[in-house]
Copies of this chain bind each other. A is one copy, B any other.
Amino acid sequence: MTSGATYPTANGERFTLDVDMNADVPPYEDYQHTDHLDNFTVMEVVGKSRCHGMHLEGLTYPITPIGMHYLLIHYDVPEIDEKAYQLKVDGLVNNKLTLDMDNIRSRPKVTMPATMECCGNGRASQRWRLWAHVPWNHDAIGTAEWTGTPLRGVLEDAGLRDDAVEVLFTGRDKGIQGPPDGAEVQYFQRSLSVDYVMNSDNDVLLCYEINGQPLPPQHGFPLRLLVPGWLGATNVKWIDSIEATSTRLTERQMKWYSYAENDNDPNRIPCTFQQTRAMMIPPGIPDFLCRFRHLEETSAVELRGRAWAGGLRIEEVDVSIDGGKTWSPAKLDAPFGKWAWVGWSFIWKGVTPGQYTLRCRAKDERGNMSKDDDSVHDYYAMDITKPQYVDVNVYPKGTLAPLNKIPLPVQFPSL
């Protein structure tokens, strides 16, 4: 079947691509390669290949090592020559600016720890997902020590005009996105309100270092936005230009990184702050096949983790060892930064043989709490705060001695 799809070109001409649009979709039968069915799509797997979570044992580090921090690459990582790089600041400003990296590094320098999280963190735990979105486990997180210069100072130098209400950030990463009947060529773009970025309490930075090192290419070299406490997609990487505008961007990444009932929902809400969530370091050791956790019986195990709420103070972290039926409060560490996660610990006492499902949840100073529901009205599966599940088998002492054999039936982890 030849589609004969018609493609408009920039100069208004039309061009018909005469190819078989369906030839490369293999028949479903060709994919019967396992007895343990699920239906994660090849698109999800390909997406996941370009986006990786943090190993949850990395929650032990207050500052996540580079390479362990979660990473989402939306289009490609562009290769940028720092010497030739220029940041353009234009639109509704009195003085258009063109800044090179020497200029940017000569500006006031701020270093702060900030937790970052993907909008779709935990999506794999929802049964209803969009078929081509990254199936994140509860691991699309990380906390880095970011260094940069306040965006506010740059905009003050440019002189925002009174009619500027929004600031549009365009990355150098280019791709095509949109519904199959009319995808759009585009650079990655998000916008923020002038009110938000000009409020110095909000600490919006143009960053050029992570953990004391120049940004690696995949984190936005040479310059990226940091909107601390906001979800990952708002932190535009590889910034090409900043444009002051009189209207908010509602298309492209403002459309797709949003809470919406469907792809055309006029009442969509673009993703902003991270939600309220706690995560734990899975205790014990894993098995290779099913990624359950395995422990020996003991009088007590210290469970540890981190919690965050997009800059709000974490008021409470609760832990459940019975899959969420009952909850007990954890002990909170001292915070180490307004925008950074806070550590917590919980003593699980009387750990006796059996099977357990551990969970943890957080509550912030405004009473927001991690919630258990699948957000079925959330078309893009962005609204997920479902408390993490950690499946644990506890055995008698000595069971987990090296080279001991134990049966491990195939089990799906709790989702």
Contacts and interface: CB of A to CB of B under 8 A. Distances in A.
Interface string A28-57: 101111111111111111111110110101
Interface string A51-89: 011010110110001111101011111110000000000
A128 interface: yes
A24 B217 CA distance: 41
B180 A410 contact: yes
B131 A183 contact: no
A7 B139 contact: no
Interface string A385-415: 0000001010111111111111111111111
A353 interface: yes
Given A40-B42, A216-B68, A354-B19, A11 B176 contact: no
Interface stretch (A101-109, A150-158, A285-293, A365-373): A285-293
A200 B128 CA distance: 56
A240 to B, nearest CB: 11
Interface string A1-20: 00101111111010101110
Given A57-B79, A288-B75, A408 B183 contact: yes
Contacts of A409: 3, 5, 21-22, 180
B5 A407 contact: yes
Interface stretch (A184-192, A231-239, A313-321): A184-192
5 contacts: A26-B415, A40-B41, A43-B289, A183-B406, A184-B403
